[in-house]
Structure 1
Amino acid sequence: MIVVTTPTGQIGSRLLGQLLDQDKEIRVIVRDASRLDDSVRERVETIDGSHDDPAVLDRALPGAEALFWLVPPNPQAPSAEVHYLHFARAGAAAIARHEVGHVVGVSSAGHGWPTPAGVLSAAFAMDAELGTSGAAYRALSMPFYMENLLRQLDAIRGQRAFYLTCAGDLPLALITTRDIAGTAADLLTDLSWTGQENLPVFGPDRLTPDGMAEVISQELGRPVTYRRMSIDDYASLLHSQGAGDQTVKDVTEAFAAQGHGIYDADWATAKPTPTDFRTWCREVLKPAADARAS
């Protein structure tokens, strides 16, 4: 039995499909089972609720050999670290209580970074807490998600630009959610691994944001440029969108660490995943942009 959290999210839904393709026995923890496709819902066991609730975990984990763990975002939380540790403490205790042997968690690259890194540091704290469970654990350690660019479709279409806070001429490590899901599926279906490790999961490119803009331009068939924002301007944007002070701090610290190379050490040792940025633009970004235009 494999237990999957966040089965309706970008990573969880893809993982669920891959596991079902292999006819694995699956139990999901889900807040709203109606969001699962009918074809999926009839093939999995559903546990209603949230995986920060010990009672929910006690219904979900009996008999589980492996667990996929992802903490969903919560902008209303007191801080990213409080939020991640709230989930992780409940999870670690339940994993130990039910003797779950293997856990795969979604984390960030950059373990050991010496200064605060906001939401990335919160993920590192989560990993440390889950490690106390005694289960074999793999922290999938990721850089910048390509899917983050989907939030900028209006700017890409209207302003012909996208915005980040990192230097345009320095390589930015990238990953796509389907490759995260694929890596998790491989681990969850072959439980021969032991111990606790951080596993870097990086895409094959070494593109700068300026280089990403060139690829986007070629795939969309119109010029798109990269425009760098300062951390202060990005913080002001978040505030204008209603984000609280702590949320802004958590996010801007993460982007500042990204700009200062928090992913670099893991990038040097990561085995590249299959999907390059051009393929993702062709198969995901362009169809999304075309659909927005229609």
Structure 2
Amino acid sequence: MKIIISGSLGNIGKPLTAQLVQSGHDVTVISSNADKKTAIENLGAKAAIGSVSDADFLSKTFEGADALFAMTPPNMGGQNIIKNTVEAGNAFAKAIQKTNIQRIVMLSSIGADLEGGNGPIAGLHQIEKLYQNLDASVTFLRAGYFYINFFNDIPMIKGAGIMGANFPDSLQIPLVHPEDIALAAAEELQKAQEGKNIRYIISDVKTPSEIVKAFGTAIAKPELPWVEFTDEQSLGGMIQAGLPEEMANLYAEMGAGLRSGKIGADFLSNNFPVDGKIKLEDFAKEFASKF
């Protein structure tokens, strides 16, 4: 198969590309960074350098392809983030229609069933709606909360001796490792599928209380506590840490959406499988190696 991968050689794109090349597929990786060309080619794939917001570039790249892994960057600039994300989704949709690719796997998220109150996930909700109208087989791969987001807490642990966010330590959070997303995406891209389908990819479901216990044990800080911040404290902390204000507001809104239970509700209330292989205890070792 000729398969197009967007997302460059990131935490998902790199293992996904390696798997598909190893399986004998003709893989092209889209990257906005020309410096990635050699690394892409070293994996046995072709490089397509350009912007995912450029429908003409995408159309040329998609020509003759059998399948596409469609991933919009999580931070489309520091301003107009939702608008920029949806514009990239529009560019994908136009190029898909023009080139008639028949198999699409779109990286989405828990909470993408919600129109709002879910922070940056709102852009994925709008893109899912765009893709519902495509004349193609589409799997919406709704991923959990990325384990690797917790790397952002390392300075807090080192500086204040705590972990925390604007949701409580008792909250059930669907979690995922990027490598599990790559495995699921590879499986879906090679699967004969019709219509529009939703697949959740979740590695584990844990509470912040369980998360700090696992991390604390792994970094020899067994008493590491979880502190629930107010929305205002969470927002202020992210801005102080250097996050652009618009993105900080979106992440604070996402935290509030997790706290209310609505972001995780569709997954948690419908008995979807937890089929990722990398559990919290496995990731805790990775966390410790970065600490």
Instruction: Please name the residue that 2:255 is paired with.
Output: 255
Tell me if structure 2 keeps the 8 A contact 1:80–1:250.
Answer: no
- Residue 88 of structure 1 and its aligned partner are, at CA, apart by 1.0
Task: Report 1:113-152 matches (<5 A).
Answer: 113=114, 115-152=116-153
Matches within 5 A, 1:1-294: 1-35=2-36, 38=39, 40-41=41-42, 43-74=44-75, 76=77, 78-113=79-114, 115-190=116-191, 192-205=192-205, 207-223=206-222, 224-261=224-261, 262-267=263-268, 268-272=270-274, 273-282=276-285, 284-289=286-291
C-alpha distance 158-234 of structure 1, shift in aligned 2 (>3 A): closer
* Counterpart in the other structure of 1:292: none
For residues 141 and 263 of structure 1, what CA distance do their matches in structure 2 show?
Answer: 11
The alpha-carbon distance between structure 1 residues 83 and 114, as it changes in their structure 2 partners (threshold 3 A), is closer
Q: 1:85 to 1:38 in 2, by over 3 A?
A: closer
Report if the CA contact (8 A) 2:166-2:252 is conserved.
no
- Distance, in Å, in 2 between the alignment partners of 1:182 and 1:166 is 30
- Whole-Å separation in 2 of the counterparts to 1:256 and 1:248: 12
Report the Cα distance in structure 2 between the residues aligned to 1:266 and 1:160, rounded to whole angstroms.
32
Contact 1:165–1:259 (CA<8 Å) still a contact in 2? Answer: yes
Shift of 1:98: 0.3
Q: Which 4+ stretches in 1 moved above 6 angstroms?
A: none
CA deviation vs aligned residue, 1:183-204 (integer Å, no higher than 9, x gap): 10111122x1111122111123
Query: How far is the alpha carbon of 1:115 from its aligned partner?
Result: 4.5
Q: Which amino acid aligns with 2:257?
A: A
Letter in 2 for 1:80: I
Q: Is the 8 A contact 1:92 1:131 kept in 2?
A: no
Q: Secondary structure at the match of 2:16?
A: helix
Q: How far is 1:39 from its partner?
A: 7.1
Offset of 1:27 from its aligned partner? 0.8
Structure 1 stretches of 5 or more lacking a match? 290-294
Query: Which string of whole-angstrom CA distances, capped at 9 and with x for unpartnered residues, describes residues 143-197 of structure 1?
Result: 211100112222334433222211112222211111111110111122x111112
- Check conservation: 1:67, 1:102, Cα contact below 8 A: yes
| Runs (5+) with no aligned partner, structure 2 | none
Amino acid across the alignment from 1:178: E
- What is the identity, as a one-letter code, of the residue corresponding to 1:271? P
In the aligned structure 2, how far is the partner of 1:150 from the partner of 1:195?
37
Query: Which deviations, in whole Å up to 9, do the C-alpha atoms of 1:29-55 show, x marking residues without a partner?
Result: 112242356474462121111121122
In the alignment, is the contact (CA less than 8 A) between 1:140 and 1:198 conserved in 2? yes
Paired positions, count: 286
- For normalisation by structure 2, the TM-score amounts to 0.90
Structure 1 residues 226-235 or 27-36, which shifts more?
27-36
Q: 1:38 to 1:242 in 2, by over 3 A?
A: closer
Residues 286 and 244 from structure 1, CA distance in 2 versus in 1: closer, same or farther, beyond 3 angstroms? closer
CA contact (8 A) 2:17 2:43 kept: no
Q: Percent identity?
A: 19
| Normalised TM-score (structure 1) | 0.89
Secondary structure at 2:69's aligned position in 1? strand
Take 2:93 and 2:142, find their aligned partners in 1: how far apart are those partners?
19
The 8 Å contact of residues 40 and 47 in structure 2, kept in 1 or not, is answered as: no
| Alpha-carbon distance change, 221 to 248 in structure 1, aligned in 2, over 3 angstroms | closer
Q: Distance in 1 between matches of 2:204 and 2:239?
A: 35
Following the alignment from structure 2 to structure 1, what is the Cα–Cα distance between the partners of residues 115 and 99? Answer: 35
> What is the aligned-residue RMSD (CA, Å)?
2.0
Distance, in Å, in 1 between the alignment partners of 2:230 and 2:109 is 23
Bigger drift between 132-141 and 235-244 goes to 235-244
Decide whether the 8 Å contact of 2:117 with 2:253 is kept in 1: yes
Contact 2:112/2:124, CA 8 A, preserved across alignment: no
